[in-house]
Amino acid sequence: MVENMKGKIRVFCRIRPMNRTEIARGDSTIVSRLDEYSITVETARGQREFQFDRIFDTQCSQEEVFQDTNRLIQSAIDGFNVCIFAYGQTGSGKTYTMVGDKHLKNPGIIPRTFNKIFDIIHKNEAKFDIKVSAYMLELYNERLQDLFVSPAEAFSKRIEMKKDKKGLVFAQGAETKQAASPSELFALFEQGCANRHIAATKMNVESSRSHLIIGIMVENRNLTNGTVCYGKLSLVDLAGSERAAKTGAKDGQLKEANSINKSLSALGDVISALSSDQPHVPYRNNKLTQAMQDSLGGNAKTLMFVNISPSDCNVEETLTSLIYATRVKAITNNAQRNMDSKEIAQLKEIIVKLRSGQPVEEEDVQ
């Protein structure tokens, strides 16, 4: 019954359209899509070509982008550990891809995923009992904040990323909330975004300076044979990858930029260790890599978006991002279904009951 699947991390590249400033300034477009899988970048030292699993051009709609992501959501419900994350410099379209535009006229992957999860649940209601819960975290200046509680409360809490016996990462100390419908899940997400916004305003920072990490857990009980599988979907909108020097950051901003650089370079170190098959992978060096440990090189189906700008003024950052993404493409994950037999699932329930002092009934032990 256990389906193990070795597979490369998939990398999709998305080119955002020129913005008004760039058009007004007369910037030129240096990135072009050759075909579904390749793009070229004009650099001072000539043309460079890159290959990815899919290229989304400036005109690609949110719906088209989501179509290729769909399958992964079914996998999470089937008991796989799935991660979708967006990487790129500030302003390259990460949040647009993951969340959507400001008023969600063009919703991105996260809200579409919420709907899709419950669509699948409804279609399978007769055969499966599926429970959904979520946590939502922000990583800012090396600190993990729980976005499901008020910023004041979040500040006094200590959150640590831990691994359970199956190797799945969980956020110890963070609230995990259940959701019974897409609107409930969306309301939780909005509450989290509002808390993030309040915290950011208080500290006078922008959301693009922190990493957003959402974990959605799916517990799926097969009503026919009693097996239970546990899937997890991690959705990550990373902080901007640009270097501090370029943004002219000072003092507080510099600390912030350094901590972003630290976490993204720790992520880079993990990626290079994995892509060159080194025996030691330095996951523990940073909270970001701890949080993504089960998504990179581990037991996961992982999809990375590398978001890039089309403009000549961003050529360096665009090249850096594309080179980073090319390394990610070389990583092989070993995806496994997390499943318990009926007996094990029952034992777990009994243990939970015993621990909380609830009586164990005869029907618990069948």
Please identify, among the stretches 95-103, 147-155, 219-227, 282-290, the one whose residues bind ligand ADP according to the rule CB under 6 A. 95-103
Pairing between strand 38-43 and 31-35?
antiparallel
211 near ligand ADP, judged by CB under 6 A: no
**Which neighbouring-strand residues pair with 116?**
none
Asked if 232 and 168 count as a contact pair (C-beta separation under 8 A), the reply is yes
Give the residue, chosen from 75, 290, 307, 314, that forms a contact with ligand ADP under the rule CB under 6 A.
307
First to last CA, the chain: 22
Query: Least separation, in Å, of the C-beta of 342 and ligand ADP?
Result: 44
Partner touching 100 among Mg ion, ligand ADP, none, CB below 5 to 8 Å by kind: none
Please identify, among the stretches 94-102, 162-170, 256-264, 354-362, the one whose residues bind ligand ADP according to the rule CB under 6 A. 94-102
Give the whole-angstrom CA distance, residue 141 versus residue 136: 17
- Give the pair of three-digit tokens for residue 328: 């990610």
Give the whole-angstrom CA distance, residue 174 versus residue 147: 9
Partner touching 211 among Mg ion, ligand ADP, none, CB below 5 to 8 Å by kind: none
Q: Which ranges constitute the DSSP H helices of 276-336?
A: 287-291, 315-329
Identity of the residue numbered 246: K
Residue facing Mg ion at closest CB distance: 95
Query: Least separation, in Å, of the C-beta of 81 and ligand ADP?
Result: 25
- Give the pair of three-digit tokens for residue 198: 């309040």
Listed in order, strand segments (DSSP E) in the chain are: 4-8, 10-15, 31-35, 38-43, 46-51, 54-56, 81-87, 128-140, 143-146, 160-163, 169-172, 177-179, 211-222, 228-237, 301-308, 332-336, 339-340
Please identify, among the stretches 39-47, 87-95, 160-168, 180-188, the one whose residues bind ligand ADP according to the rule CB under 6 A. 87-95
Q: Within positions 182 to 211, which residues make up the interface with Mg ion, using CB under 5 A? A: 208
Asked if 80 and 294 count as a contact pair (C-beta separation under 8 A), the reply is no
Query: Least separation, in Å, of the C-beta of 98 and ligand ADP?
Result: 8
Partner touching 240 among ligand ADP, Mg ion, none, CB below 5 to 8 Å by kind: ligand ADP
Site string for ligand ADP, 101-140 (x = CB under 6 A): x---------------------------------------
Give the whole-angstrom CA distance, residue 211 versus residue 196: 11
Residue facing ligand ADP at closest CB distance: 93
Of residues 103 and 280, the one with the C-beta less far from ligand ADP = 103
Q: Which residues bind ligand ADP (CB under 6 A)?
A: 16-17, 19, 88, 90-96, 101, 208, 240, 307
Residue ranges binding Mg ion (CB under 5 A): 94-95, 208
